[in-house]
Structures are given as C-alpha cells and as structure tokens.
Amino acid sequence: MVIQLRMSEDNSPEYELRNTSDDDLSQSSNAIASRPPASPIAPSPARNSTDLPLSPDTWKALKLDDYLTNYPGGANLTLQDYAFAHQAQNFICGIGEGCHAGQLGNPVSAPDWYVLYAAQEWNAVQNSIYTAIGFAVSMVQATAGSMITDLFGTKSHSVFFYLQDFFILISAVAFTVAMISIFAGAATVLVASVAAGAIAAGASSVFTGVNLYQSWDRTPDAFTRWSSYVYYLSEWQSKVQDKLANMTSTTIQSGISSPLGIANALKGGVFLNGTQVAEQQDVQKQIEKTLAVRILVDIIRTQGGYVTYKSDPCNGKGPNGAWKGDEYLSFCKDGTMMNIVKANGKKTDNKWYNARAIADKYNITTEYLVTQSWNCFQKYKTFGYDPYRNATLPTDPNSECVANLPVCDCTDPAIVRARHKGHSTTRACREQGKLPI
C-alpha cells in the first residue's frame, strides 16, 4: 500500500491511498536501476590529510626549511605573493595587520598551510610586542617619576648622571623581545635567528644623533629629572617601534627564501606551535620589570651606591642577622652579609632615604640586587660589568647582570688591612679595591 500524491484541476494537492501491485514495484525498481549511479565523494588530496600536530617536530618532519629554501622563484616571491599563489587571497601581514591561514585544506593545503600558519603566529608576536612596548614605556615613565621622588626625596644631589649609558643599556630590550615568542604553559622563549645581526647593530645605534648627556648638577629638582626620563623613554619607544615595524616590513616584502625573508624568521619551526602566545600583558610586565630594575640601579649609582660583601658579621637584629631598620638595604644568608651603601666623599653612608619603598612599592628586594650584583662580579671579575652593552638585554629580570651594582669584596687582604688602619669602607674600596665610586 502506498500514498500517491497528484494535483487536482485547481492545482490543490490530492492524496490517494492504493494497493501496490507487483507491476508497480517492478516499475519502481526499474526506475531506480535506470538512474545514473551517484558520483562518489572525491577524497581530499593526500597532502591535505597531513593533519599533524602544530610543533617544531612537524616542521622538521615536513622538511619545511628545505622546502622554502628551494621554493621556485622564492628569492623574489614576497610572503603575500606566496600566500596568493596558494589561494590565500587576504593574507596580509604587518604591524597593524592580522593575517590568518584559515583551516588546513580550506583553501590552503599542506605543506604550505603550515608555513602560512607559522607566519601568522610570527606576525601576531610582532604586533603584540609593538603594542606591549608602548604600554610598558607608559608604565615605566610613571614608575621612574615615582622612584625619583621616593628615593631622592627633596634633597639635592651633586652627582653626574649619564643618560646615554643608561639608554644604551636598555636600547636592546625591544630588539630582543621583538623577535621573541613567549608561549604559555611551557614558557619557552624562542628567538628568530634572522634578528641576531640586527639586534647587535641596533642596540648601539638607536640614539645616534641624539644628545643624551644630562647632569644632575644642572637638573637637581625631581620634576626635571622625571621630565628627562619621560623624554628619553618616549624617544626610545618611537625609535624602537619604528625599527620593529621596519624589520617586520622587510621580512614580509623580501623574497621568502632570501636572507631577509620569512624563511629565516620561521627557521626550525619556532613559530609553529599550537599553544597560544602569551598574553600581551605578560610580555609587557617583563619589559616593565627589566626596565624598572635598570632605572633603579642607575638611581642608586647616581647617589654613589655600591655593594659591600662581608664588610660586617651577621649579628644585627634584622632577618638572619642583617641590619634592622627601614633605612637600610641589608641582607644576610648563611652568615654572609651583603649591604648596599653609598660613598659620601671618603665616608660611608649606610642609610637610604625611603629604602623600604624599593621592596614594598616596587617589588625589588635587597636580596635580588646584591645577589645579582655579586654573581655578576664573581663571573666577570670587574665592577658594574654589563654583558648586554653591545648585545641584547633579556626580558627576564633574573638573567645575569640585569642588576649590576659595583661590588667591594671586603675579604680582599688589601681592603682588610686598610680598614684595620682606620680607613673607611668607602676609602678602602676606592683606593685599595679600585672601585669606581
């Protein structure tokens, strides 16, 4: 029995219930048999089915370094042209741009999809760092003003401050982080090898042609000090962001397999990672912390600050025998005392204006400052050594020598004898230890 639909004369549907005969079934079967067979679903191309994990291992397994190096016409084919050739019509990278590879096989197939995905992540990092630099500088400008007010107080100080040295020290920061991808979870820091030469060259040339020398003799008030920081930090931000934008543009506009092209930036699959890139705020905080430490170190040094190692026994009333009091920067561990003191002519001043604010307000401990400085001195055997002066300053504030105050080793026999003769610690460290204080 079947229900048959037919149209009446007035075009309204009519339904008829009737028995099904063998002839009807036969005709129906013949009709079905006479239909052309349905076309089978075309399988995806073999290379489209390469749904591999997003990792450097996949990059290596697909031999994508060799693939890009030997890509036909790659020496002159820009990243956008390469993407267009693989049906990625709107793949436009750059600062202020977001390029997206889409889904594997829609429309870009493997192995090219993996290349474009890595380029997408590389571009996201450049934009994230570009923005983070701006936010970080704004925060550090405010922090610098606060530090000057907190740590200098209202008293004038006749000391020289070389902003040129300071900004050479920090100028490499953004060149380093501009090519860094910090991934959440594993916290792996990946640096693109293409940046190596540019970082070293850029660090010493960022402020070429800008007069950076300032003297606190001529600018004794806190407002002028802060204004100088703000001005030079703004200059630094502008030049660093311009440099980053130019480096990004050069990579995009160069042939993909040329020395400056995207192949070098993506080499080894460093940007092929399924983990999300760390939040912009995380990158920003690392830049802020590193710059804040450098500013603090210079503020301490402008006041004649230096570290003493084992100048006194750990028999104070502070933690583990350190000196007790909010005006001291003293640290003791395992019977070893290290203090931050300041040279005042031939005398030694152990007290610091508002010293407690360094740890309480800026979260930079005396332990961190003295340990960093001592370890740096022990390794390089020189005072205030800076391994990043002509290289790259890391974003991790725990990297060596980020804090690099001069250190006086008071166990040095010549210094011990001078102090026994009645010389002050500062005089003994300056004359016998040759400390630049």
CB 121 within 8 A of CB 272: yes
Domain annotation covers residue 43: no
282 and 292 inside one domain: yes
3-class DSSP state for residue 349? strand
- Structure confidence by residue, pLDDT tens digits, 258-284: 999 999 999 999 998 855 555 567 778
Q: Average pLDDT of 404-431?
A: 97
173 and 81 inside one domain: yes
Q: Any idea which of 4-8, 131-135, 249-253, 413-417 has the lowest mean pLDDT?
A: 4-8
* pLDDT greater than 70 at residue 47: no
Q: Which pLDDT score, from 0 to 100, does residue 274 have? A: 59
Indicate the pLDDT class of residue 139, thresholds 50, 70 and 90: confident
Quickly count: other Cβ atoms within 10 Å of residue 228's Cβ. 18
Q: Which pLDDT score, from 0 to 100, does residue 128 have? A: 86
**H/E segment holding residue 224:** helix 222-253
Q: Which pLDDT score, from 0 to 100, does residue 202 have? A: 37
Last residue of a domain, one of 269, 302, 335: 302
Indicate the pLDDT class of residue 134, thresholds 50, 70 and 90: confident
Q: Which pLDDT score, from 0 to 100, does residue 391 have? A: 61
Q: Which pLDDT score, from 0 to 100, does residue 290 have? A: 85
Burial classification of residue 310, based on how many CB atoms lie within 10 Å of its CB (0-12 exposed, 13-18 middle, 19 or more buried): middle
Q: Which pLDDT score, from 0 to 100, does residue 411 have? A: 97
Domain annotation covers residue 42: no
218 and 366 inside one domain: no
* pLDDT greater than 90 at residue 403: yes
216 vs 109, more confident = 109
Q: Which pLDDT score, from 0 to 100, does residue 425 have? A: 98
260 and 312 inside one domain: no
- Domain that residue 367 falls in: 304-431
Domain annotation covers residue 314: yes
56 and 23 inside one domain: no
Q: Any idea which of 7-11, 53-57, 230-234, 303-307 has the lowest mean pLDDT?
A: 7-11
124 vs 82, more confident = 82
Q: Average pLDDT of 187-210?
A: 33
Q: b vs e for 141-180, b when ≥16 Cβ sit within 10 Å of the residue's Cβ? A: bebbbebbbbbbeeeeeeeebebeebbbbbbbbbbbbbbb
Q: Which pLDDT score, from 0 to 100, does residue 276 have? A: 53
Taking 3-state DSSP, the helix, strand and coil percentages for the chain, each rounded to the nearest 5, stand at: 45, 10, 40
Q: Which pLDDT score, from 0 to 100, does residue 154 have? A: 56
CB 332 within 8 A of CB 319: yes
388 vs 30, more confident = 388
Domain annotation covers residue 422: yes
Average pLDDT, rounded, for the chain: 77
Domain annotation covers residue 194: yes
Domain annotation covers residue 172: yes
Q: Average pLDDT of 335-347?
A: 96
Burial classification of residue 25, based on how many CB atoms lie within 10 Å of its CB (0-12 exposed, 13-18 middle, 19 or more buried): exposed
Q: Which pLDDT score, from 0 to 100, does residue 137 have? A: 84
109 vs 287, more confident = 109
Q: Which pLDDT score, from 0 to 100, does residue 174 have? A: 41
Number of structural domains the chain divides into: 3
Q: How many residues does this entry show for the chain?
A: 437
Q: Which pLDDT score, from 0 to 100, does residue 227 have? A: 77
Percent of the chain whose pLDDT exceeds 90:
48
